[in-house]
A and B are shown apart, each in its own frame.
Chain A
């Protein structure tokens, strides 16, 4: 009889063990992916050799002359450029709760170097123009368009430091003009890798290491992989780049999505495909960012201004990252960081000059999104925190004047006087300054989109679907299987099982007790007799 119970039990256990042992993923070939690989493995060959053009074989004195030479063939292209945000540093966008606004680098604040206004001379190193050194730059002068910064393929071109966007004096303009072509990683990276004053300071997922990296760091840009360049994905119809950076963007127009190539059902596993409704590709496929070099996570302006023997100084950590600079304050860096996660629908609000400070920390760019919103997905973000200067009386953030060539021009980086810097900055922007300043905590959100890992390294199910300390632990307000439960219901369930077990055990005990008490009586008699017999 015991066999009849044990055998089925063994069978059940054996079946489970067999399933566990022999369930293996079948090897397969993802034809969709192979097709994409094939497409991007073929690198475009230019149909034109610019060095053969007479007009480019000149001795260029000024960079404007190069632009004029470009325009002799590409006669209308300046119109495209002058309509782009790379040129205008702003875009017309609908901002939820505000209406139509022109926003961009030109007028927004951030919690890194705060803002470009009053500091154009330095900031314009990353403007695709020549001579933006104040707010009187002529955005209608095509001669000032800098074609070379994006199209130089010789790695010769370089914009000078604090030269209002003009090239460094060492640059051989003729060499550059004769070797133009499609933008490479070097061109884009010159600004987008070094934004914020150093490699990987701002983004965390865009840095110089991507120029030659491995598949472990980035499957798309890996030198031992497809070696894709930025413009393979960020295509530019009429010089309007596809893709949005939400530190300066507000609407969801012309976004670049993984789905554009990979479709929204890229997995063989339907269970994974279902996730694409609510989870962005990046969430699972970018398990960590800043994989090679560290990125800045915290910037405290309130610590700025300490001097040694009356001179500004800086301190570095063991990896060579600045941890303190008299001109900027103290920093915290990190590498191989697990992102934070947010709901995001592709629209954002920004702190705009003059906004009264409400919530603290101040959100420099508020990413909109919610679980209930059908357009929202969970995305990975880098959250950059810090403190920065604000007007205590008017309760608004201050745009200080940071840069000047010489001392005595009210610039903080020369004179280390917040009062003067604030007054000069706010005065030019047309805002009042009360003379009372303080420092307020601010936060900035950087969606993480690059450094896509090989699929073996993507985030596994249980990293989110787990009761505690999962990746989405902080993202509450919706039911996530495996993470969420109803503790009351689970308590009731546990008691239900305990009561059932208890009831069964008590019932069985009573039955055993009754039958034993009957048998015991008989056994005793027999034993008694046996013992007597033996004794006799």
Chain B
């Protein structure tokens, strides 16, 4: 048993800021949807807007980071091992079988993770950002020379935005649960906080072997 440094500083900052923003946007967003009552409608709308701008800034930084560090390659899913990973989560995990894929600094996501996160980044987040921006700037002529989006009905924009919100909530539930499936129940969570993850000795040995090569 040993520890390896797997999540770099920005990676952790980005992850937790995004988590907090998504949590906050969910709460305020569902208040705007009149599903919950917490801040009051006016403040909920105001906070949702502020948080959405913060989220846009974070996304810009994250994209820059992914591109410049080459981290984006992590999200190319290895389709051949996908079924093995699904099989592990549906049966192997109960019998304490070893993980079918190895976690390393170079490859920190298993195929199912890579596939899911790719969907998150390429479908869910763009869907929320685009529908959110359309929502934000949806208005008709008022003489203020503001951006005018009239051909798309606010109803359909809002429906896409709330559909994305439901998907996000479902994603977060499963995502949080999946953190307990690491080496120990909390090793994944610890890793995302400290950057270091406990891994099986054999894995580390393998890694070192890989590095040596």
Contacts and interface: CB of A to CB of B under 8 A. Distances in A.
Given A465-B41, A482-B33, A277 B162 contact: no
A504 B173 contact: yes
A45 B209 CA distance: 98
A482 B41 contact: yes
Contact of A4 (B153, B165, B177, B186): B186
A478 B154 contact: yes
Contacts of B24: 16
A334 B67 CA distance: 67
A171 interface: no
A497 B39 contact: no
Contact of B186 (A1, A496, A511): A1
Given A274-B139, A497-B170, A501-B173, A466 B34 contact: yes
A503 B174 contact: yes
A277 B189 contact: no
Given A484-B155, A485-B162, A496-B166, A12 B23 contact: yes
A374 B140 contact: yes
A435 interface: no
Contacts, number: 123
Contacts of B38: 20
Contacts of B23: 12
Interface string A13-55: 0011001100100000000000000000000000000000000
Which range contains the number of A residues in contact with the other chain? 35 or more
B173 A497 contact: yes
B56 to A, nearest CB: 17
A73 interface: no
A15 B167 CA distance: 25
Interface string A256-283: 0000000011000001011011100000
B144 A467 contact: no
A277 B141 contact: yes
Given A466-B34, A482-B41, A497-B170, A514 B158 contact: no
Interface in B35-71: 38-43, 45-47, 49
Contact of B144 (A23, A273, A479, A499): A273
Interface string B55-94: 0000000000000000000000000000000000100011
Interface string A480-519: 0111111001101110110111011001101100110000
Interface in B185-206: 185-186, 189-190, 193
B131 to A, nearest CB: 13
Which of A273, A276, A462 has most chain B Cβ within 10 Å?
A: A462
Contacts of B141: 277, 374
21 contacts: A8-B16, A12-B20, A20-B38, A264-B143, A271-B49, A276-B142, A277-B141, A460-B41, A461-B42, A461-B45, A462-B41, A465-B32, A478-B154, A479-B155, A479-B158, A482-B34, A483-B34, A494-B166, A496-B170, A504-B177, A514-B96
Given A271-B46, A461-B42, A467-B34, 16 more contacts: A1-B186, A16-B24, A460-B41, A460-B42, A462-B42, A466-B34, A466-B41, A478-B155, A485-B33, A486-B155, A489-B166, A492-B163, A496-B166, A499-B170, A508-B177, A514-B96
Interface of A: 1, 4-5, 8, 12, 15-16, 19-20, 23, 264-265, 271, 273-274, 276-278, 374, 460-462, 465-467, 478-479, 481-486, 489-490, 492-494, 496-497, 499-501, 503-504, 507-508, 510-511, 514-515
Interface of B: 16, 20, 23-24, 27, 32-34, 38-43, 45-47, 49, 89, 93-96, 139-144, 146, 153-155, 158-159, 162-163, 165-167, 169-171, 173-174, 177, 180, 185-186, 189-190, 193
